[in-house]
Structures are given as C-alpha cells and as structure tokens.
Structure 1
Amino acid sequence: MTLRLRLLLAFALLTIVTAAAVAGAGYVRARDAIVQRAQDNAVIETTNRVEQLYPLPTRAVDTSVLERVAARVSGREGSALAYGNGFAAGGMPPSVITAELRALVSTGRVGWQRVSYSDGVWLVVGMQLRTSSGGPSGIEVYVLRPFTSEIAFVEELARNAWLIGGAVLVLALGLGFLAARGVLRPVRELQLAAWQLGQGDLSARVPVRGRDELASVASTFNSTASSLEHHVGELRRMEADARRFVADVSHELRTPLAAMTAVTDVLDAETASLPGVAGQAARLVNRETLNLTRLVNDLIEVTRFDSGTAALALDDVDVAEVVRTCLRMRGFSDVSASLPDGVRARLDPRRVDVIVANLVGNALRHGAPPVSLVLSVTGSSLVIEVADSGPGLPSEVLPHVFARFYKADSSRGRSEGSGLGLAIAWENARLHGGTLVAANRPGGGALFTLRLPLGGGV
C-alpha cells in the first residue's frame, strides 16, 4: 500500500469517525427534542380538551356520557376512547392501548406511549378525569394522535446527516489528497534524487523548502551526497592514478624484460654445460623471467580493459580449429576435447585463444586429471565447457574466482600464477557480449562454462 493511499485512508477514517460522532450526536439530540416537543404538545392539547369538559355531569356514567367525552377530546386528526363504569365508547380501537399504559393511567397520572398503528407511528395519551372536587370521576380517556409528520421530519434529519457526512467525506478526501500531495512531493524528490545517486549521478540534490522535518531530511541528504561525491571523486582520482601507474610501469618494464628474455634464452640453451648450481640458477632465472613477462603482459591487458581501449578483431572462424590450435601451441596434450567440426562463429580468435588457454591451464594446475573440454552450440550461443576431476571450488571461493589477484590458497607461491588469468578470461567473454560462469559438477570437480554469441560481440 502506497504512502499516499495510507494518508488518504487515514483522512477518510478520521473524517468518517468525526462526522459520525458530530452528525450522530446532533441527530440524536434533534430527534429527542422533536419527539419530546411533539409529545408535550399532544399531552398539553389533550389536557386542554379534557379541561373543557369540566364541570362533569353528575349523572351516572353510561355509554352516552362516554361517547360525548370521546367526541370532545378526539380532535380532527385523531380518535379517542373513554372508559368508565365498565363501559367503553369512542372511535379508537382498544387494542392499541397497552397494559403498561392503562396501569400508569389507573394511578392517576398522565401517560403517553408511541405505538405502531395503520402502517405508521401514532401517539396514545391517556389520563383520568376528575370531579370538580378533585376526586376521581371513574372515567379514563385515551386519545390516539398521528405521529407521522414528526417521524418524517426525523427521517429527513437522518437523510440530511448522511448527505452532510458524505459531502464532508468528499471534501476531506480532496483536502487529504492535496495534503498528501504536498507532503509526498519532497518524498518523491528525495526518491528521485536517491535513484539518480544510485545510477551514478553524484551531482543529484534535493530542493530544500521550509524549515520542517522534511526540509531537515533534504538538507541531510544533500550534505551526504556532497560528501559522497567528494570521496568518490577522490577514489576515482586515486584509482585512475593507480591504473596509470600500473600501465606506465608495465610498458616501461617491457623493454628491459625483452633484453632479459633474450639473455635467459641464451643461458637456457647453455644450462646443460653449466655446473650443477649454476645450471639450476640459470633455469630459475629463465623461468622467473618468463613468469615476469607473462605478468607484465597480463597487467597491460588489464589496463586496456580498465581504460576502455580493448577492442575486438572479429573474424568468421572455425571454432574447433581455434581451440585445437590453442591446445597444441601450449602443449595441453592431457586434455580430452570434444570438438565437432563445422561450428563457425564470428569471434576474435586471439581473445578466444586467451580464454581457452586460461581455463584449461587453470584446470590442469589446480584441478585433477582427466580434464575435459566440450564444444557445442545451444540456440544462438556458442558454448565451451572446461571441467576437471579435482575436489572442486570451495563455496567461499566461487564468488571471487574471477576477481583480480585472487588466489584460493594464499600459501601458493607466486610462480603458480598471477591471479589475473581468470579475470582476463572473464573480461574477454564480456567484451564478446558473452558470459563465463564457474560452478562445481555434481560428481566432483570444477566446471567453467563459456557462452558467446555466434554472431559476434556487442
């Protein structure tokens, strides 16, 4: 549920409760006042009509006396019924008089009661007639008056209360929408600025309006973004300096390394004629010089990726032949390769050679034989899978296997690899618009899966 919807629901709920309380209380008070006034007027009118009968006749109470009494007090809109001396007379049906009302009137008090009669609400008023001396006359009179107009007025009050409540609810929702819009506007601006910041736009800021809590949040966000922009700028500058330093050093090392390689090649050719210790030293120098040359070349390649200057030299090639050439040139004779003929793709053969060489070399160095390489085509993708039969990759190593200079075993000597081979293989796969994924086989051993588009890189 969105914040705007929650605010509108809160406004609506508050309005409903407030309107119901105010309108309900007003309706109840108005209804009670109207009903009470109508009952009081009916009682007063009936009492006035009864008083006009005094003095009562001294003759015995019979039906004719009761009929005259009922006729005098009934009025134009109602009817009456008179009791006395065991007789009853009048146009009012006796069934509408309840036992409770008769019991109250028999005590000498004036009573009234609302009853349902003729599909409506009517008022029954009852009282005793007294003699001129104040004593009971033995006559009870009951008057039935319509209560329809009062009930209709009360119902109209209820309808008006509902209408007013509905109008207030609509008004409150409109005000709530405007208030929510005003409150959420800084929130939306903050959300947009945070999204821009997450997308790398470190110059994103939020307008600060007013001096409330939202303005304080916006000001804090702006100061945080400014600090982040400064620190990220410093980190980028330092990273650029470090990359430039690595690139410069790598390029500067190539010339002396070329001379050293030439010298070590000569020494390597003469190692057989050198004494034992001298021969071992010559072979060690030659091996370490080759490792250093390979490291410098890898660093130069990495700097090309970082600077964005690495580019593809695409060609329509026979993939199986590229892989065979890679394995043959590097002496990977212990690899079981499944290379079907006729698989052609538009690739950079040099970079595919680097990927395959790094994957197979890594499997031979850190896995266990047999090492297998399988070439296949799935849909529009070229798939190369390299697997070994070793213990596989530990779970804590898998997330970092393509990280630069990462070594699963920190105790390994530097002669066992620079830690850049898999990182360069991953960068070359990405440059082709493909993927390189590391996993463990269910039966044991590491599995590296390379997927490249057949139509060339992106």
Structure 2
Amino acid sequence: MTGRLWPRGLRARLSLTFVLVTVLGAAAAAWSSAGSASTALVTSTQRRLTESIAGQIGATTPQLTYPPDQAALDRLRAAVGANTLVTYRDLRSADGAETGLVTEALHTAVRTRDRLVTQRVTASGRPWLLIGTPIVITGPDGARTPSGIEVYAVRDLTGVERQVDDLAWSAAGTAALALPPAVLLALLAARSVLRPVRELRDTARRLAAGDLAARSPPQGADELAELTVTVNEMAESLQTSMAAMRRMQADARRFAADVSHELRTPLSTLTAVMEVLATAAAEMEADARESAQMAITETHRLVRLVEDLMEVSRFDAGTARLRLEEVEVGNAVRDCLRARGWLDQVDLAAPEEIPLRLDPRRLDVIVANLVGNALRHGGPPVRVSVSATREQVRIEVGDGGPGLPEHVLPHVFERFYKADAARVRTPGSGLGLAIALENARLHGGDLTAGNASGGGARFVLRLPRKREDG
C-alpha cells in the first residue's frame, strides 16, 4: 500500500520531500513559537491574578481583629472580590457559586505548605484558576505566625484560553502560508538537480542504442558533475574498445573472404586431381589406396570448409540474398533426405500441401545440417516432422541420443564450436549450425535447440507464412 501511495518518479519524490520538510519545519517553528507564547501568556496571567489577590489581602489584613469574627471575614472577602471564599475554623464567608470549585486538595496544600498555592481546573467546559493562601500575622519582632484565616479565589481563564486558540490558528496559518513558496522552491530545486540526471539518462539511452559518440557536458563541481565525467570516460573507453573490436572483426572477415576466394581455384584443380586419383585407386596397392582415400576425404572436407567460409562471409557482408520460389515444404524436405540417401535412416512425418514461398537451396542447407548432425552425433531413431499453422511452418528434427548437455545449449549455434574436443576430425566444418541459423533468420524465421522431454536433442525451425520480400 505504501509503495502505491508514494510517488515513483524521482522529480515527484524530490519535490514532495522538499515540500514536506519545508512545511513541517515551518509548522514546527510556528507551533513551537505558539506554544512558548501560550505558556508565557498563561504564566503571566496567573502571576498577575495572584499578585493582585495578594495585594488586596495585604491591604486589608492590618485592619482585621484576631481572632476574627464573621464581619471581619466578610470585609476581607469583599476586598478580594467576587468568587471568593474566606474561612476561619468553623466560620465561612463565600461569594459566588464558583467557590464550590475549590478542591479538598487545594485546602490541604494551603494548610500544609503555609504559602500561596494555585491550581488549574476545567468545569463545565471552561478553564478556571484556583488560588489559595493562608494569612500570616507578623509580630513586632518580625516573627510570623499563622492566623488560621484562609482565602480562596476562583478566576475565569476563558479569555486566556481564547487567546491561546488564536495563537494556535495563527501558527496553522503560518504553516499554510509556507506551502506555496515551499512548492515553488521544491520545483526549482528538483529542476536544478534533475537536469543533469535527465541528461545522463538521455546519454545512457543513446549509448544503449549504439551511439557511442554520445556525451553529457559536466556542469558545476558537485557529485553529479563527477558522475557525468565518469560516464563520459566510460563511454570514451567503450567507444575505443568497440572501434578496435570492429576493426579486428572486419579484418578477420576480410581475411576469411580473401582466403576462401583465393583457395577456390587451387581447390578446383586439386578436386579434379582427386577425382582422377579416385578412379585409379582401385588398381593401387593397399597402403597406397588407403593414403589416396584419406587424401580424397580431406580434400572434400577442405572444399566444404572453404564453401562454408565463403557463405559466412556473405552473411557478414550482408550480401546473402534469397531466391524465392513457391515450394511445397514436405516434398522439399523429402528431396533433401533422398539426395543424401537418408530416407531409410530417418522417420519423416510430412503432410502434403504445405506451400511456402522460400529459397529451396537454403532450406536444403538447413535441413541437411540438422539431420546430418542428428545422424552423426545423436542416436536412432532420427525423426523429422513438418507441421503448419496460419502464422508459420514448423520443421522439427529430433533424435534418440543422450541429448545436448546443459553447458552446450547456449553455444550450439556459435561458429567453430564443438561440444566434444575429441570430435575435431569430424567431417563438419563447425559452421553448419551457424549457417543454418543465418539462413533461418534470412527468411524472417528462427532456429532453436533443446532437448526433448523423452530424451534426445531437438532442433526446431520456424518459418513465417507471410513475410516482406526484400
């Protein structure tokens, strides 16, 4: 609940925090001032009332007779004023109904402390100040002895309470007046703080989008400026590293393309020689025939590697193009298997009438690579199924082998990657699956690798039914 109520944006949070701090500070200061003023007002009023009553008593006591009679008590009560109670042993002189507010606790405090005592009470929703004091007789020698006379006065504090309420409302008004300038200052502060943050955000987005020349000009000499300088240095280092990497990649691709191109002519000649050698191999001695067969095999492997390198070079250079034709996918897959003599080794489930506009040569390359891998590295049975929906055509190749290890799955489409170091002399170039993936993407589709739930590796080719011809 708190996460939903608290604003999520940095600007909103900063502004709200600044406003809250300012308003709370103003309110705290105003309430503190109001509280101090209220305390001072109540204390001042209490002191004024007690001093007034003490002065009235002091002016009357020299005229009293001791022990006092009822008339003396009445004169003393009249001198003090309304709402006054004067007692002497069993004698009482009272004026005003509010004298009933005098508490037993006040009586006890006056008698035990032998000095003026005050008490504040609330009755009928109104505040009252109770003042009680004993009258002390001072002898010629300065000795002070209690006379037994006690004076109690009740004074209304409603006016003082009204003034205290006015001070509280004034404090609330002061806090409210602080709100508009606090909001304005918060917006200005948020703008000044968040401007470099927004610039850093924009720079980071441009860097993420590939604009490695994006920079933010540092402003000031605070922590944000230091962060900006650090981001710029990071971007500069990244740009330098990426430029060097691109140069190395371009050099490697150019080298592979150049070498492949230069090898085509001598390999063509060598292939022709190997064909002649293959024809004559039957008449050779056993050792010579074995060497000739090895040379023929390695020559074919070298030709395949050069062809794959040239194909990869075309993908890297962006010159690979589709030659689209209307193809019946099931028949195309069957023709691929038949051309390589795999029909007897593969279980094919391909319904008729799945037409698709694609490049048949590139589809042949994809299927041949997937099925060839399953036959060489998987286990029987090898299954190929073709299916279709309104959106895509799906070709799945699976085998009954042990499947792909978890550490191999992220790398199966990497160039020259071989899961088993012992298979370095296998007929493949290490580029087959990478070329198959590039061909799938060239069609606007995708190729994924995984393991079937019942065991064995599974490769799934997905080709869209509709695509933009480019």
Is 2:127 aligned against 1:121?
Answer: yes
Indicate how the Cα distance of structure 1 residues 371 and 110 shifts in structure 2: closer, same or farther if over 3 A, else same. same
Provide, for residues 107-162 of structure 1, a one-character-per-residue CA deviation record: whole Å limited to 9, x for no partner: 54222221213321011222334668676554322221111111121222223333
Contact 1:56-1:131 within 8 A present in 2 as well: no
Contact 1:347-1:457 within 8 A present in 2 as well: no
Q: Select 1:34's aligned residue among 25, 41, 45.
A: 41
Matches within 5 A, 1:94-105: 94-105=99-110
Q: CA RMSD in A?
A: 2.6
Q: What displacement does 1:419 show?
A: 0.4
Indicate how the Cα distance of structure 1 residues 261 and 344 shifts in structure 2: closer, same or farther if over 3 A, else same. same
Q: Which segments of 5 or more consecutive residues in structure 2 lack a partner in the other structure?
A: 1-7
TM-score (norm 1): 0.91
Moved more, 405-414 or 299-308: 405-414
Residue of structure 1 equivalent to 2:440: 429
Is 2:382 aligned against 1:371?
Answer: yes
Q: What displacement does 1:204 show?
A: 0.7
- How far apart are the structure 2 equivalents of 1:366 and 1:201? 43
Residue of structure 1 equivalent to 2:203: 193
Provide, for residues 21-48 of structure 1, a one-character-per-residue CA deviation record: whole Å limited to 9, x for no partner: 5445433322221111101111122223
Contact 2:42-2:160 within 8 A present in 1 as well: yes
Q: What displacement does 1:445 show?
A: 1.2
Q: What displacement does 1:339 show?
A: 0.9
- How far apart are the structure 1 equivalents of 2:464 and 2:71? 117
Is 2:227 aligned against 1:217?
Answer: yes
- How far apart are the structure 2 equivalents of 1:431 and 1:167? 67
- One-letter amino acid of the counterpart of residue 376, structure 1: S
Contact 1:11-1:172 within 8 A present in 2 as well: yes
- How far apart are the structure 2 equivalents of 1:447 and 1:117? 91
Provide, for residues 324-353 of structure 1, a one-character-per-residue CA deviation record: whole Å limited to 9, x for no partner: 111111111311101110111122211111
- How far apart are the structure 2 equivalents of 1:350 and 1:2? 54
Q: Select 1:438's aligned residue among 435, 449, 465.
A: 449
Contact 1:7-1:176 within 8 A present in 2 as well: yes
How many correspondences in the alignment? 455
Residue of structure 2 equivalent to 1:356: 367
Provide, for residues 192-230 of structure 1, a one-character-per-residue CA deviation record: whole Å limited to 9, x for no partner: 212221221100101111222222221222122122212
- One-letter amino acid of the counterpart of residue 119, structure 2: Q
Moved more, 388-397 or 164-173: 164-173
Residue of structure 2 equivalent to 1:339: 350
Residue of structure 1 equivalent to 2:60: 53
Matches within 5 A, 1:122-141: 122-129=128-135, 137-141=147-151
Contact 1:110-1:125 within 8 A present in 2 as well: yes
SS at match of 1:416: coil
- One-letter amino acid of the counterpart of residue 241, structure 1: D
Identity of aligned residues (%): 48
Q: What displacement does 1:17 show?
A: 6.4
- One-letter amino acid of the counterpart of residue 128, structure 1: P
Residue of structure 2 equivalent to 1:387: 398
- How far apart are the structure 1 equivalents of 2:467 and 2:24? 67
Q: Select 1:232's aligned residue among 226, 242, 250.
A: 242
Residue of structure 2 equivalent to 1:79: 83
Q: Select 2:293's aligned residue among 283, 287, 301.
A: 283
TM-score (norm 2): 0.89
- How far apart are the structure 2 equivalents of 1:21 and 1:269? 105
Q: Which segments of 5 or more consecutive residues in structure 1 lack a partner in the other structure?
A: none
Contact 1:55-1:132 within 8 A present in 2 as well: no
- One-letter amino acid of the counterpart of residue 346, structure 1: R
- One-letter amino acid of the counterpart of residue 365, structure 1: R
Contact 2:260-2:306 within 8 A present in 1 as well: yes
Residue of structure 1 equivalent to 2:3: none
Provide, for residues 232-289 of structure 1, a one-character-per-residue CA deviation record: whole Å limited to 9, x for no partner: 1122122112211211221222222222222222322232233333333332232222
SS at match of 1:411: helix
